[in-house]
Amino acid sequence: MNTGIDAIAFDVAKLHLPIKTLANARNIDPDKLEKGLGLLKMTLPDAHQDAVVFAANALTKLITQNSINPAEIARIYVGTESGIDSSKPIGSFLTTLMEQKFGENTFSNCDTVDFTFACIGGIDALHNCLDYIRLNPTKKAIVITTDIARYDLESTGEYTQGAGALAMLVTANPRIIAIGNEWAVSTKGVFDFFKPYRTLSKRNITNHEENEPWFGNLEAEIEIHKDQPVFDGQYSNQCYTDRTREAYYRFKDATNTRGSLYDTWESIIMHLPYAFQGRRMFAEIFALDANIPLLNGNEDAADYQNRLKEIAKSEEYKTFVNRKLQPAEPASSAIGNLYTGSVFMGLLSALSHFSKADTDITGKKFGFLAYGSGSKSKVFEGTLQQGWKTAAQNAQLFETLAESQEIGFDTYLKLHKKEQKASLLAPSGEWVLDRIEKDIPNLIGARYYKWVE
């Protein structure tokens, strides 16, 4: 019996800012972002959208497009780093919304929980659900990834923003891809990228020396939350490389693979905070696993990095990239970073690529190299099943992305600063954030959603 992904659906923000527009506004050479990083667009949530909205839309599409009986869904596990509450999980919002759509109590027997570990939370949810289905092969589970990647204006992460969600049905004998039982992990606690609770002195806000009540806050310090992370780009890249390399070799050892592990994979699906991140990070593994010399013994760290750059520019590596890594990249170029959804969107991008090329990959293996800051990598592989091409054709990935609406730089700034209160696009056939309670004391902050026909 195999277990894996049986069906997949997605919902991506319908607004985008061209990377060239951002580059010109920030006095950055557009080629640096477009040709250097593979960025073309970054998608942005409209005023009525948040992580719950994207997740609910993707889940609704998954259920309706595949005629799934809600009674057969045993669990809905969510991977996200865009939670809207420190206690109530996104999953609990989703079961409530699905009951509005499909009937009262239709999801009351469904287990749900959120997984948070930066960008790898969705993979953790998948790992857990696969184990559950192996023990309960008659059951069905759903994995959802939903995130809004938001960075501070004028920061080095600004041009990697994106927003959207994917929903995947996990079953026995899946139609798209069967995931193997062997997984390798590398974990180390670091501060390469994180979203801490931050504090401000109440005295600095109110200009009062005494600690007087302020909007219900009695503490001398005001705790705030920002969607934007604290991060060190270069250090994060190094953590990404180190964790991925360690997990890669642990997987190779666990599977007793002789020769280069990547040669056994038709395509490689990596976490892509920007489209070309994978190809820039994989050069080291490419060289090491092919026994290509990197050092002779007397060089320093700078020499090592220069040697890696030489390898990355070699014709051999460029050919490897085009064959193994490029198929997963185009969706990232058109969307931006999806955090937990990045790996799964890479999978859908690769499936769409092979479908369009009319290449039969049934029975071929894909290698997955996932990463989450903080930090952790997981490496595993999956075998493509007979229904992969039908799933890719039905998804209409790039046809859907082509319908995205371009916005200007001033509008982008208003959205980012949350000054744009009205929706730019009229919602239709989707979930929206209806209101946030501000008056009833025991419901302050409660978020309410509705379906718009």
pLDDT digits (tens, 9 = 90+) for 236-246: 999 999 999 99
272-284 pLDDT tens trace? 999 999 999 999 9
259-275 pLDDT tens trace? 999 999 999 999 999 99
d(CA 160, CA 240): 16
**How much is the pLDDT for 305?**
87
Confidence check: pLDDT of 292 > 90: no
300-324 pLDDT tens trace? 778 888 889 999 999 999 999 999 9
- Confidence band (pLDDT; 50, 70, 90) for 216? confident
Confidence check: pLDDT of 27 > 90: yes
- Confidence band (pLDDT; 50, 70, 90) for 382? very high
Confidence check: pLDDT of 397 > 80: yes
**How much is the pLDDT for 299?**
63
**How much is the pLDDT for 152?**
98
Contact 340, 376 (CB under 8 A): no
Confidence check: pLDDT of 298 > 80: no
**How much is the pLDDT for 297?**
59
Phi-psi region of 363 (alpha: psi -120 to 50; beta: other; left: phi over 0): left
- Confidence band (pLDDT; 50, 70, 90) for 87? very high
- pTM of the predicted protein model: 0.97
Please tell us whether the domain made up of 3-192+232-452 is placed in CATH 3.40.47.10.
yes
Side chain identity at 198, as an amino acid letter? Answer: R
Contact 122, 341 (CB under 8 A): yes
**How much is the pLDDT for 314?**
95
Give how far Cα 191 sits from Cα of 94, 264, 346, 374, Å: 31, 34, 26, 6
Residues of the chain with CATH 3.40.47.10: 3-192+232-452
For the chain, percent of residues with pLDDT exceeding 90: 92
**How much is the pLDDT for 302?**
82
155-213 pLDDT tens trace? 999 999 999 999 999 999 999 999 999 999 999 999 999 999 999 998 888 888 889 88
For the chain, percent of residues with pLDDT exceeding 70: 99
418-443 pLDDT tens trace? 999 999 999 999 999 999 999 999 99
